[in-house]
Amino acid sequence: MEKSRQNILMGVVTRAHGIRGDVVVKWFGDDVETVSSYEMFQDEHGTQEYRVIRARPLKGDTFVAHFAGVESRTDAEAMRGTSLFVDRALFPQTEGDEFYLVDLIGLKAIDDNGHPVGRVSEVHNFGAGDVIEIAPEDGSASVMVPFTHDFVPEVEIGRHVVVALPEETDDEGAPS
């Protein structure tokens, strides 16, 4: 099932913290400090809401939060693995050439000659930087492209991205 572009995954509850219902959340946003700007999270389908009572940074990309209705360690442990989504409409406006990576999803991907390559189907980060996944128009296997200026020299939100596809490799993994 494809996720709606309107519900954006911002974090996931990783564990309980203490005995009073606090939880630790791994944050996928830019800055843990921005958590306080989102008073309400929801599940992927928007059917369950999680209202933040208080939150504070923990370390790195985590924070400790207390959600309404979560009053004990048992309640907090039951939240483990809960994904926290925010409606895209609640994101702050971008300025100039700024954009959110989620805004790339669905854009047409073209080569530097303007020929269609496919569409951006997903944006990933496996730890070494952002990667865009291009689903070719012919239905063949998706292609992963590093989201760097060398491989994606142009982004026009609402229109397209220009991509320079990596060289194909042979069965030995060496460039062909």
- Series of mean pLDDT values for 10-residue runs along the chain (176 residues): 63 96 90 77 88 91 94 96 89 83 92 93 86 92 93 94 76 48
- What Cα–Cα distance (Å) separates residue 174 from each residue in 36, 163, 168, 169, 170? 48, 21, 9, 5, 6
Taking alpha carbons only, the member of 63, 61, 59, 50 closest to residue 23 is 63
Architecture of domain 101-162: Roll (2.30)
**Segments of the chain assigned to CATH 2.30.30.240:** 101-162
Residues of the chain with CATH 2.40.30.60: 7-89
Q: What one-character-per-residue DSSP string does 34-46 give? A: GGGG--EEE-TTS
Level-2 CATH architecture, domain 7-89? Beta Barrel (2.40)
Q: Provide the pLDDT for residue 174.
A: 45
Q: How many helices (H) and strands (E) does the chain have?
A: 1, 12
